[in-house]
Amino acid sequence: MIRLIKSLFYMKATINDVAKFAGVSIKTVSRVTNKEPSVKQTTIDKVNQAIATLNYQPNLAARNLASTSSYVIGFIYDNPNAYYIIDMQNGILSACKERGFELLIHPCNAKSDTICEELTAMVKHSRLAGLVLTPPMSENPNILAALDSIKANYVRIIAGENNSQSNGLTVLVNDKHGAVAITQHLIDLGHRNIAFLSGDQQHESTKERLLGFKQALNTNAIDVNEEWILDGKYAFESGVDGANKLFSMENKPSAIVACNDEIAAGALFAARLAGLDIPAELSIVGFEDSPFSRQTWPKLTTVHQPNIEIAQIATQLLIDKRKAQGNETFKVFTPSPVIRDSTSAPI
């Protein structure tokens, strides 16, 4: 055994070496490295000890090619928010590492006429075990139908309230509840003249957050001023443009609900250029609790959305289904307000 270890010091250990060192079969080593169920803990410990002693590094790419099963998860996105993408990527990668899978990242244009063909070709070419779909792809019926036609495995992250909105593996983010709560915060401070800056209309989150905003106003018998509800995009510049439009109106709001933190940061920037005191003269809130909300001055009141955890759970659901280890098909996340310095009672 000592001679084996010494010889392997000069060359890369193989799965055969690990099996010989641990006194088990190659198949058992494979089952342990793939984290398959029904392996005795004593066997797992013995194999892991051999792996550590020999410094064995599994060749995941070779394993994927040699096996009839795939060990690659694809992350498909089209989102202008870099912080959202990074959080999603980190959450998915964490779950993949935990379960012995690799991650393939694929940015795309959800508005492309060939998006369905692009995704189905990628699934076939890359032999993916499954896809993590984020908005707006996860909410596009044409994309879902195309993936279903090739029997692709996927989990959707979408805006929603309950499992009646889920179809297959789904992680629901209750954006509507978060919007109700953050708007109610402004109302509780005494605001009655509240505007809303929207994100991209192709995202269901925009519609859900607007519904929550309106619900809070209606619950408190406050009229909805449609002139103060402005279309936009999930971008800083959209917040700047939307805020400037509001400031040019004769009847101005005392508070703004922005559809995400990037928009809110843009509105705050425009307000400061206009000489407004935040929050004394204007309260601004965002959504998602991204780094944007902590990089502004004052720091933004927002709605916390645990994107890393959301991505982890979505990936775990997908892998568990792939390995036939879990029966859970959906999970609901409810965002909650984070009160900081950009809100106060109106003058």
Q: How far apart are CA 310 and CA 306, in angstroms?
A: 6
The domain in which residue 32 lies consists of: 2-58
Domain end marker among 39, 58, 77: 58
Q: Structure pTM?
A: 0.79
* 330: CATH: 3.40.50.2300
Shared domain check, 232 and 128: no
Q: How far apart are CA 236 and CA 261, in angstroms?
A: 8
Q: What are phi and psi of 38, to 5 degrees?
A: 65, 30
* Domain-embedded: residue 166: yes
**How many Cα atoms within 13 Å fall on the side-chain side of residue 319?**
26
Taking phi first (over 0 means left), then psi (-120 to 50 degrees means alpha), and beta for anything else, what does residue 55 get? left
Confidence of residue 79 (pLDDT cuts 50, 70, 90): confident
* 24: CATH: 1.10.260.40
Residue 38 predicted with pLDDT over 80: no
* Domain-embedded: residue 63: no
The residue written with tokens 């879902």 in the block is 144
Q: What is the mean pLDDT of the chain?
A: 88
DSSP 273-327: HTT--TTTT-EEE-SB--THHHHSSSPPBEEE--HHHHHHHHHHHHHHHHTT---
Least trusted range by pLDDT, from 24-33, 88-97, 132-141: 24-33
* Domain-embedded: residue 341: no
Confidence of residue 57 (pLDDT cuts 50, 70, 90): low
pLDDT reported for residue 18: 76
Confidence of residue 324 (pLDDT cuts 50, 70, 90): low
227-272 tens-digit pLDDT: 999 999 999 999 999 999 999 999 999 999 999 999 999 999 999 9
* Domain-embedded: residue 325: yes
pLDDT, mean of residues 156-179: 86
pLDDT reported for residue 215: 98
Residue 60 predicted with pLDDT over 70: no
pLDDT, mean of residues 109-125: 90
Residue 66 predicted with pLDDT over 70: no
pLDDT above 70 coverage of the chain, percent: 89
Shared domain check, 279 and 203: yes
Shared domain check, 256 and 181: yes
76 or 198: which leads in pLDDT: 198
Confidence of residue 164 (pLDDT cuts 50, 70, 90): low
